[in-house]
Amino acid sequence: RLDSKGINIDSKDIEGCHPLPSKNKNQKPAIIIRLVNRKQKKELLKQGRKLKGTNVYINEHLIKKNADIARQARLLRKQKKIQSTWTSNCKVFIKLNGSPEQAKILVIKEMAELERYK
């Protein structure tokens, strides 16, 4: 399926992979893939945008703390309290509302930092 979308990944680029345990037995498990180097990871994440509209997703594997922060940031974006949010190199970023000159980009390290935008 990835080849059909123009996403290329060679088996020599994969250091290891395994399925994650799932609570829902009817759902296919998520698969964790560890790539040989960060450059390949960054490229694969960039190519993942080609999968929009399919049931295949490519995401960074975040520690629970950062996953919770990212989830809260997405909720704030949905509520239009911030302009956008994303992760890069396992860090959570938000872009504040406002004109391009006013819309600051911040790295969020603690859940408490999001409190002021609720």
pLDDT, position 10 = 86
pLDDT, position 1 = 59
In a domain, 110, yes or no: yes
Domain containing 68 equals 64-117
d(CA 13, CA 61) in angstroms, rounded, equals: 17
pLDDT, position 64 = 96
In a domain, 59, yes or no: no
* Residues 44, 69 within the same domain: no
* Residues 75, 107 within the same domain: yes
User: How many independent structural domains does the chain possess?
Assistant: 2
In a domain, 57, yes or no: no
* Residues 17, 42 within the same domain: yes
In a domain, 94, yes or no: yes
In a domain, 81, yes or no: yes
pLDDT, position 53 = 85
pLDDT by residue for the chain (118 residues), tens only, comes to: 577 788 888 889 999 999 988 888 888 888 999 999 988 888 888 888 888 888 888 899 999 999 999 999 999 999 999 999 999 999 999 999 988 877 899 999 999 999 999 8
* Residues 112, 68 within the same domain: yes
Global pTM exceeds 0.85: no
Which residue carries 């893939």 as its tokens? 33
pLDDT, position 79 = 97
65 Cα distance to chain centroid: 14
pLDDT, position 112 = 97
d(CA 98, CA 54) in angstroms, rounded, equals: 32
* Residues 10, 40 within the same domain: yes
